[in-house]
Chains A and B, each alone.
Chain A
């Protein structure tokens, strides 16, 4: 009896895990922090390493300025990159979290509706 109960609990756990939702705010903040740190570190590494006298520092990374107005490979630019990185990460985290939750919700509604009309519910 106890084993049967444990088996049912395990099955229930798997189903609950399958339909678990992502915390969109937490994901947005977490991905935002990672992107912010990533862009800041990418800029800072180039600044610390420097470049030969006849070459500019981070000419290629500076091309991000096309998409992120004001961003440059400089210390003030790295701080701006921190903010831009956070914003980009927030958007990515929100999209992934929202699509994940919405898709699970739709899947669940379709499943319940199908079972309802099949007479299982």
Chain B
């Protein structure tokens, strides 16, 4: 198979898998935001969802109301789908070089048995780290652009976890670098745990 055909085949596979990942993350994102809103509405109280409703800064039309819950479902799906797309796209950048090390075959597998996917910590680190860093950059600078950075006391609390982070352009860059590093480490933990359990289950 010439290299060009091989690339076409691989790119087609990556495109399909990116769409699948987008749908999976979209469903998850929509469900989480819808459910979070509904839980607060059912619990009730004086100031229902005062903090969650701050999401309307990023998701226009969202509010902690029944209508807002459905709006949240749509926004959650869009946000999740975009996140899934960026995550898999970032992950797939090194797929071509390491294809042989990413598959686990069952001992009694037939040619038609699909192999099990092994996760690369480095590749996931690039995908997840890039996604998290991009999200922090975009959300922080959106607050800066709309002129509410000085009042964003909730966002500023991130500095508890990301030293040096502030709601400013320079603060967002520092926070993004730190978040990339944390996500990279988390990705390695996730990949190592997943690969370990998958291998144990395959042997069993």
Contact = CB atoms under 8 A, between A and B. Distances in A.
Contacts of A60: 51, 154, 157
Interface of A: 7-8, 10-11, 13-23, 25-27, 29-31, 33-34, 37-38, 42, 45-46, 49, 60, 63, 66-67, 92, 95-96, 99-100, 103-104, 107
Contacts of B201: 23, 25-26
6 shortest interchain CB distances as A-B pairs: A18-B13, A26-B197, A30-B194, A30-B193, A99-B24, A7-B1
Contact of B103 (A7, A16, A27, A96): A16
A99 B194 contact: no
A67 B39 contact: yes
Contacts, number: 118
Contacts of B186: 34, 38
A74 B42 CA distance: 26
Given A20-B103, A29-B197, A34-B189, A100 B24 contact: yes
A42 B161 contact: yes
Contacts of A31: 190
Given A14-B10, A14-B99, A23 B116 contact: yes
B39 A103 contact: no
Contacts of A8: 1
B34 interface: no
Contacts of A7: 1-2, 6
A16 B17 contact: no
B198 interface: yes
B27 A95 contact: yes
9 contacts: A7-B1, A14-B10, A16-B103, A18-B16, A26-B197, A26-B201, A30-B193, A33-B189, A103-B20
